Amino acid sequence: MSNETKEVTKTENKKPAKAEHAGERTVPGKYYIPQTDIVETDTNLIVTMDVPGVKKENVNIRLENNTLEVDARIDFSPYDRLTPLHAEYNVGHFARTFTVSNIIDTAKIDANLADGVLTLTLPKAPKAQPRRIEIR
């Protein structure tokens, strides 16, 4: 094992290498931090997150003070009467919080849920979009 690998391992065993979820609050109950990808285009930031088993009406997306909160709840009632013989799939709610910069046009954020994937489109404000400057 190289010294670099040892250092990374040592750091990962002590505390998270990055504070990627810093600022997220803890909540009671079983919650998962959904796997999330964020990509940037010239005009948008596109956030996709896995929320399997969640219905559209059980997703709450809230924007306040430049903080975007996503809370997705699963309806457990279909499972109440079942006794699992073997269970590997854990079910729980999903929650994730992001800080949104002032380059985002917050009035035009769009959300779509399909096949267990929540997609948020965060349009950049026109002043933040790249533009070509003509030479006179």
Residue 32: predicted pLDDT: 86
Alpha-carbon torsion angle 42, 128, 120, 29, nearest 10: 130
CA distance 47 to 113: 12
For tokens 């609050």, what's the residue? Answer: 25
What pLDDT does residue 81 have? Answer: 85
Burial-class residue 51 by CB neighbours within 10 Å (0-12, 13-18, 19+).
buried
Which pLDDT does position 55 carry in this prediction?
92
Q: What is the pLDDT of residue 26?
A: 60
Q: Cβ atoms within 10 A of the Cβ of 58, count?
A: 16
Residue segments in the chain with a per-residue pLDDT below the cut of 50: 1-22
pLDDT tens, residue by residue, 91-122: 778 999 999 888 889 889 999 999 999 999 99
pTM for the model stands at 0.69
Domains (ranges, CATH) in the chain?
30-128 (2.60.40.790)
Q: For residue 25, give the nearest of 76, 83, 97 by alpha carbon.
A: 97
Amino acid present at 68: L
